[in-house]
């Protein structure tokens, strides 16, 4: 019986008691849009005992979210403390504006991956509908940096946001999303905007996200660099493979796989995201193109004359700058990457051998930070690359071989 995935209201996360900390969120959180992100937030909040109401234009999606345990179906007259809009990016602004009007005492936030366009869209929608423009001060833009390859409530996880940055754009009473001053929000008589931010911070904390407060423009520039430009680059590199002979593609290694992995993402979603963040992405891509032109000029020169003066230096500069840039990327453990060393162990490709390996490793008191498995086609051996803290490496290298393991390097 597969109760966890299929059963109604399956216990995907421990109950409130098991979490060991009471919820910070007061009142009801109304989740509008019960796909992967909305349902995951519902699961996380339910795990802390928060009352979660679920709404979605699709009755099926809403029922699915209820069935996985993300909350209860919303009633006709909800009075939520916070509305979490988890709709597709291109309808988010309209849904946020509608919810600001429908729930005059609620703070409304969203999860769309661009923030300036949504903020402008909310203000425009309120104006269009003749609503009180100050309602926008109850809107806190949000963007959790979390996701999965799969979508929908059935892929939701209570820990989807755990330890992940969750950007919040504080309201300022006016559209535009300028940078938030540190420690507070300017021009906020009565503290309404600050109070709105506080409520959403509580929701983020209860989802175990790591709040990052920044202005809409700063956010959009940042995601252009760390998310949207990499996406475009991955797609462009992968597109080059379309007309390659299959013998060429057969030479692919891990480098190509890593660079192009995200090129398999949903085109519909990405058109929405890139369209909504067009200006920052275009700025970054223009800069990238000018670097590309420098490399291309050097390679053209080298193709014509293998000793072309200065050409190799220009290529080296591009590679050097890339190395310096990648050094700024935080590791999987956050901004302060834990140094790890890799121990490669040959593993027979059969059930039980990994279990024996991990049992031996645990026996030696060594904690594994990461594992990568490589299967060798046509051979009954795989390679397990164990990332361990530096102190663990000599221990494994000394103690695994006597236990019958071949340590490969």
Q: Is there binding between residue 321 and a second copy (CB under 8 A)?
A: yes
Member of 26, 128, 333, 403 binding a second copy (CB under 8 A): 333
Interface of this chain with a second copy, residues 196 to 215, rule: CB under 8 A: 208, 210, 212, 214
Distance CA 375, CA 319 (A): 31
Member of 234, 309, 391, 403 binding a second copy (CB under 8 A): 234
Distance CA 310, CA 324 (A): 21
Considering the complex, state which of residue 105 and residue 379 has its C-beta at the smaller distance from a second copy.
379
> Which residues have CB under 8 Å from 400's CB, separation 6+?
343, 345, 360, 361, 364, 407
Interface of this chain with a second copy, residues 365 to 384, rule: CB under 8 A: 365-379, 381, 383
Member of 320, 390, 391, 403 binding a second copy (CB under 8 A): 320
Q: Is there binding between residue 128 and a second copy (CB under 8 A)?
A: no
- From the list 257, 275, 246, the residue with the least C-alpha distance to 114 is 275
3-state secondary structure 112-125: CCCCHHHHHHHHHH
Q: Is there binding between residue 267 and a second copy (CB under 8 A)?
A: yes
Q: Which residues pair with 211 in a beta bridge?
A: 166
Interface of this chain with a second copy, residues 275 to 294, rule: CB under 8 A: 275, 278-279, 281-282, 284-289, 291-293
Interface of this chain with a second copy, residues 154 to 193, rule: CB under 8 A: 154-159, 162-165, 167
Considering the complex, state which of residue 186 and residue 376 has its C-beta at the smaller distance from a second copy.
376
- Report in angstroms how near the CB of residue 136 gets to a second copy at its nearest: 19
Q: Is there binding between residue 124 and a second copy (CB under 8 A)?
A: no
Q: What are phi and psi of 233, to 5 degrees?
A: -65, -45
- Report in angstroms how near the CB of residue 60 gets to a second copy at its nearest: 19
Q: Which helix (H) or strand (E) holds 40?
A: helix 36-47
Q: For residue 25, give Cα distances in angstroms to 78, 144, 200, 384.
A: 16, 17, 8, 43
Interface of this chain with a second copy, residues 54 to 113, rule: CB under 8 A: none
* Site of tokens 């663990």: 392
Interface of this chain with a second copy, residues 1 to 60, rule: CB under 8 A: 1-5, 12-14
**Stretch of 23-31, 91-99, 133-141, 220-228 contacting a second copy, by CB under 8 A:** 220-228
Member of 130, 253, 339, 404 binding a second copy (CB under 8 A): 253
Q: Which residues pair with 348 in a beta bridge?
A: 381
> Which residues have CB under 8 Å from 308's CB, separation 6+?
298, 301, 302
Q: Binding-site residue total for a second copy (CB under 8 A)? A: 160
Do the Cβ atoms of 49 and 23 come closer than 8 Å? yes
Considering the complex, state which of residue 101 and residue 157 has its C-beta at the smaller distance from a second copy.
157
């Amino acid at each position: 019986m597969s109760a966890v995935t299929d059963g109604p209201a399956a216990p995907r996360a421990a109950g409130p008691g098991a979490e060991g900390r009471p919820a910070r969120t007061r009142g009801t959180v109304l989740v509008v849009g019960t796909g992967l992100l909305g349902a995951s937030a519902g699961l996380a909040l339910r795990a802390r005992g928060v009352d979660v109401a679920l709404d979605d234009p699709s009755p099926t999606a809403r029922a699915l979210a209820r069935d996985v345990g993300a909350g209860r179906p919303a009633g006709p007259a909800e009075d939520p403390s916070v509305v979490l809009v988890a709709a597709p990016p291109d309808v988010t602004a309209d849904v946020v504006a509608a919810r600001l009007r429908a729930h005059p005492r609620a703070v409304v936030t969203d999860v769309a991956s661009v923030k300036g366009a949504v903020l402008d869209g909310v203000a425009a929608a309120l104006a269009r509908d003749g609503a009180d423009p100050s309602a926008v001060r109850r809107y806190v833009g949000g963007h959790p940096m979390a996701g999965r390859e799969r979508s929908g409530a059935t892929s939701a996880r209570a820990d989807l946001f755990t330890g992940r940055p969750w950007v919040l754009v504080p309201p300022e009473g006016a559209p535009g999303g300028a940078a938030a001053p540190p420690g507070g929000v300017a021009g906020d008589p009565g503290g309404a905007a600050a109070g709105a931010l506080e409520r959403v911070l509580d929701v983020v904390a209860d989802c175990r996200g790591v709040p990052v407060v920044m202005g809409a423009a700063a956010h959009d520039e940042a995601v252009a660099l760390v998310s949207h430009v990499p996406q475009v680059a991955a797609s462009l590199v992968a597109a080059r493979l379309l007309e390659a002979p299959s013998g060429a593609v057969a030479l692919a290694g891990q480098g190509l796989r890593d660079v192009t992995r995200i090129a398999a993402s949903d085109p519909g979603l990405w058109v929405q995201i890139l369209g909504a963040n067009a200006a920052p992405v275009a700025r970054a891509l223009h800069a990238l193109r000018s670097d590309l032109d420098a490399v291309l000029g050097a390679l053209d020169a080298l193709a014509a004359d293998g000793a072309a003066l200065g050409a190799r230096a220009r290529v080296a500069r591009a590679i050097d700058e890339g190395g310096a840039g990648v050094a700024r990327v935080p590791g999987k453990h956050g901004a302060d990457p834990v140094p790890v060393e890799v121990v490669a162990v040959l593993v027979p490709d059969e059930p039980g051998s990994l279990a024996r390996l991990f049992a031996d490793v645990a026996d030696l008191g060594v904690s594994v930070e990461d594992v990568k498995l490589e299967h060798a086609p046509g051979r009954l051996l795989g390679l397990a690359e164990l990332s361990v803290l530096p102190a663990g490496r000599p221990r494994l290298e000394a103690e695994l071989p006597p236990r019958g393991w071949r340590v490969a390097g």
